[in-house]
Structure 1
Amino acid sequence: MIDVRDLSENPDQYRASQRARGADESVVDAIIAADASRKSSITSYEALRAEQNAFGKKVAAAKGEEKQALLAEVKELAISVKAAGAAADAAAAEQDSLVRALPNLVADGVPEGGEDDYIVVKTVGTPREFPDFEPRDHLEIGELIGAIDMERGAKVSGSRFYFLRGVGARLEMALLQLAMDQAIEAGFVPMITPTLVRPETMAGTGFDVKHDAEIYRLAEDDLYLVGTSEVALAGYHSDEIIDLSAGPIRYAGWSSCYRREAGSHGKDTRGIIRVHQFNKVEMFTYTTVEEAAGEHERLLAWEEEMLAKVELPYRVIDTAAGDLGNSAARKFDCEAWVPTQGAYRELTSTSNCTTYQARRLNIRERQNTDEGGKPGSKGTTRAVATLNGTLATTRWIVAILEHHQNADGSVNVPVALRKYLGGLEVFPVL
């Protein structure tokens, strides 16, 4: 949720943000108008309430016919007060609805446009060439080494489901454990998070629970399956005042994730690139507004560190405004080279959500400090900034199998993963 006061004071900035996203600019003026209506309604209500209170004192002091006349006026005034209160509530609800639908303010420097309008920040490593043999895709390799079973996944659960078995299961666990160990070393608190959340938690993170076709909903329980542990981690401190005096609060969430992939019909139907269920280690940070941009750079650096450990060539892109999603003010993606596709494919993303999620979830910090520089017990509070970033996920297996494959279909295990696999150096063909 954006700061309505800031929007009212800097409307052109928000109109420009909407233009960059390819979204409707008129909502900015609609919010300003709704805010004015809300304030006017509250003023009218408070004036009538004050008049009602004054009449109460008059009635108490009056007698006889005068009192009866005043009581009649009080009755009429009470009706007016009730109507004014309802109008104020309606105006506040209208404003809240408009504000919750407005995406976050895009950060300075984010490229305008849609999915294809990203800017390449840097490219690291060289895509592998295969002069001596034709590379196999990850599914063919996965079947040769007994790692992936799509056929039985579809039999059991339907399309875009799968089994990871044998070295495939071990590879995923090793990858996620490597990510978690790195996160712990960097000061993150490890978390196993719920994968079912309440609608207010999902909506608080920035997802449109009523219209987002990607989200699985359990209607009978009014719960939602998360597409990332970011949702649960964002809700962890909802309605709390947190202490950031010692620096950012960082969590690393390990969870299964679920996405309907509603808009991906005909895309990536082969293998495990785009599936309904996967596992992931997600970094999540609470920090101050001033530290958010610096923390975003750190999250990106940790993602790059993981990609280097599994020895993959990749590039970093600055995602265009129209491809950010509602909550992000800026997002960087790391895309690894997938040889059989001849393209870079997203493996990680990290988003700076500034105060957008925290305002929706009512997560604050104290602004005042005492003489020792520590947060005071009284004084004003303000929204914190939240950020997230993927540290490892099931999709990484695609790039690892293809990039490290051998002519016979076996796969060399990246050195950093070997200690999690009992020293195994090669995944052999069965």
Structure 2
Amino acid sequence: MAEALTIKDEIARLEASLVPVEETLLSLALAIPNDTHPSSPLGPESAAVQLSIHGPPPIPADPARDHVAIARQLGLIDMESGAIVTGSSWYYLTNEGALLEMALVNYALSVALRHGFTPVVTPDVVRSEVARGCGFQPRDTDADPPVSQAYHIADTNQDLVLYRPAAKVVGVGHAFRAEAGARGKDTHGLYRVHQFTKVELFAVTTQEQSEQMMEDMASIQTSILSGLGLPFRILDMPTEELGASAYRKYDMEAWMPGRGSWGEVSSLSNCTDFQSRRLHIRYRRNVAQPQNLSPTTLAHTLNGTAAAIPRLIIALLENGAIFDAEGKLTGIALPDVLRPFWLGSNDRGIIHWH
């Protein structure tokens, strides 16, 4: 009897010592990145390969087309109030600026719905274990909350993973970024802010279908940007830009003449089974067979930005600014595809549809 009690105590001691070992093992396993597609370029961001270019010829770079200056002159933005109320890199969209965000959201949604995506509205936070399962690792480890707490989502797709595997869904939500003020030129105006609205595409597929699904989703993104009349290009992103979860990633960059450079307005990632393995997303290959004869298989997941609203506003303002013969700003040319989604009037006469 005494020996049995000793063994019981020893088992309890060993089990207690196993807990931190298992936690360390899980943490290390979660940090292992996905494989990479054989066609993905090797190296840093500069190694990205341009796959295609679309839209009208880019107009020359021109500092007079800076989106902040344009938006302030036309009363479309209030950066100062955002800074006073919340802090730097926060902002108010006002007047036609607010209407432009709403129109862009509904335009992008309409395109996604036409392509068979199911709309969802999600919370803006997820439990930390779900975020980690998606490949999201907090950059500020000092602020890392306990595992039971929630994170603001950095991308809407991190919450859509919780939705039933309905093949294709599109969500509208807010994305949050802690490090908005850390990238020099990228911090100007709306380009890199702490909170912004996104329309996000998410798909769950069989393993055999994910590469074709990636091309289908890229076609939707191309359709959205082409409809806006923007010059843009599609890049195959190199290995150092894939993050932990992506097997392959495309970036869509629009020409922003006020910035004098291309700027990312959309991205698309095929995560294969990286997220589904961590979140237990599986499918049955033959649903007609009895369950014991048709084992489940890990699904593949993909996510892509249908519309990153502030970046699109930058591109539309900088490409669409209208100046008179003396160089005075008189208004903004906006594409007709947004007109059905425009909720206000044009009493001030600054919007010119084309």
Give me the TM-score of the superposition, normalised by structure 2: 0.87
Using the TM superposition, name which of 83-92 and 95-104 deviates more.
83-92
Match of 1:115 in 2: 45
Alignment deviations for residues 187-223 of structure 1 (CA, whole Å, 9 cap, x no partner): 11111110011111111111114xx239987889822
Structure 2 CA distance, aligned partners of 1:427 and 1:214?
A: 50
CA contact (8 A) 1:350 1:390 kept: yes
Which residue of 71, 88, 100 corresponds with 1:142?
Answer: 71
Match of 2:312 in 1: 396
Which residue of 75, 78, 101 corresponds with 2:31?
Answer: 101
Match of 1:172 in 2: 101
Quickly say closer, same or farther: Cα 1:225–1:129, change in 2 above 3 A.
same
Structure 1 CA distance, aligned partners of 2:92 and 2:240?
A: 35
Give runs of aligned pairs for residues 23-422 of structure 1, distance below 5 A.
93-129=23-59, 135-209=64-138, 212-213=139-140, 222-237=149-164, 249-261=167-179, 264-367=182-285, 369=286, 374=288, 376-378=290-292, 379-394=294-309, 395-407=311-323, 408-409=328-329, 410-421=331-342
Structure 2 CA distance, aligned partners of 1:311 and 1:206?
A: 34
Using the TM superposition, name which of 74-83 and 252-261 deviates more.
74-83
Structure 1 CA distance, aligned partners of 2:312 and 2:298?
A: 34
Quickly say closer, same or farther: Cα 1:214–1:325, change in 2 above 3 A.
farther
Q: How far apart are residue 257 of structure 1 and its match? A: 1.4
Structure 2 CA distance, aligned partners of 1:375 and 1:353?
A: 28
SS class of match (1:98): helix
Q: How far apart are residue 266 of structure 1 and its match? A: 2.8
SS class of match (1:328): coil
CA contact (8 A) 2:41 2:237 kept: yes
Fraction of identical pairs, as percent: 35
User: Structure 1 stretches (4+) deviating beyond 4 angstroms?
Assistant: 71-94, 214-221, 422-427
Q: How far apart are residue 260 of structure 1 and its match? A: 1.0
Structure 2 CA distance, aligned partners of 1:82 and 1:176?
A: 56
Quickly say closer, same or farther: Cα 1:256–1:311, change in 2 above 3 A.
same
CA contact (8 A) 2:30 2:133 kept: no
CA contact (8 A) 1:213 1:262 kept: no
Structure 2 CA distance, aligned partners of 1:90 and 1:165?
A: 51
Structure 1 CA distance, aligned partners of 2:135 and 2:22?
A: 20
Structure 2 CA distance, aligned partners of 1:90 and 1:214?
A: 18
Which residue of 335, 350, 353 corresponds with 1:428?
Answer: 350
CA contact (8 A) 1:123 1:316 kept: yes
Quickly say closer, same or farther: Cα 1:291–1:321, change in 2 above 3 A.
same
SS class of match (1:289): coil
Q: How far apart are residue 262 of structure 1 and its match? A: 5.5
Structure 1 CA distance, aligned partners of 2:208 and 2:196?
A: 34
CA contact (8 A) 1:196 1:226 kept: yes
CA contact (8 A) 1:292 1:385 kept: yes
Aligned residue identity for 1:411: I
Quickly say closer, same or farther: Cα 1:134–1:79, change in 2 above 3 A.
closer
Alignment deviations for residues 51-88 of structure 1 (CA, whole Å, 9 cap, x no partner): xxxxxxxxxxxxxxxxxxxx566556656766776687
Structure 2 CA distance, aligned partners of 1:330 and 1:79?
A: 50
Structure 2 CA distance, aligned partners of 1:109 and 1:94?
A: 33
* Structure 1 vs Structure 2 CA RMSD: 2.9
CA contact (8 A) 1:127 1:337 kept: no
Structure 1 CA distance, aligned partners of 2:144 and 2:18?
A: 33
Structure 1 CA distance, aligned partners of 2:141 and 2:317?
A: 28
Quickly say closer, same or farther: Cα 1:107–1:221, change in 2 above 3 A.
closer
CA contact (8 A) 1:125 1:312 kept: yes
Match of 1:43 in 2: none
CA contact (8 A) 2:59 2:319 kept: no
Structure 2 CA distance, aligned partners of 1:351 and 1:428?
A: 38
Q: How far apart are residue 419 of structure 1 and its match? A: 1.6
SS class of match (2:341): helix
CA contact (8 A) 2:63 2:259 kept: no
Q: How far apart are residue 144 of structure 1 and its match? A: 1.9
Structure 1 CA distance, aligned partners of 2:340 and 2:99?
A: 12
Higher relative contact order (CA 8 A, sep 6+): 2
Larger fraction in helix: 1
Structure 2 CA distance, aligned partners of 1:215 and 1:397?
A: 34
Q: How far apart are residue 93 of structure 1 and its match? A: 4.6
Structure 2 CA distance, aligned partners of 1:178 and 1:275?
A: 22
Larger fraction in strand: 2
CA contact (8 A) 2:180 2:193 kept: no
Aligned residue identity for 1:173: M
Q: How far apart are residue 157 of structure 1 and its match? A: 1.1
Q: How far apart are residue 277 of structure 1 and its match? A: 0.8
Aligned residue identity for 1:377: Q
The alignment covers a number of residue pairs equal to: 343
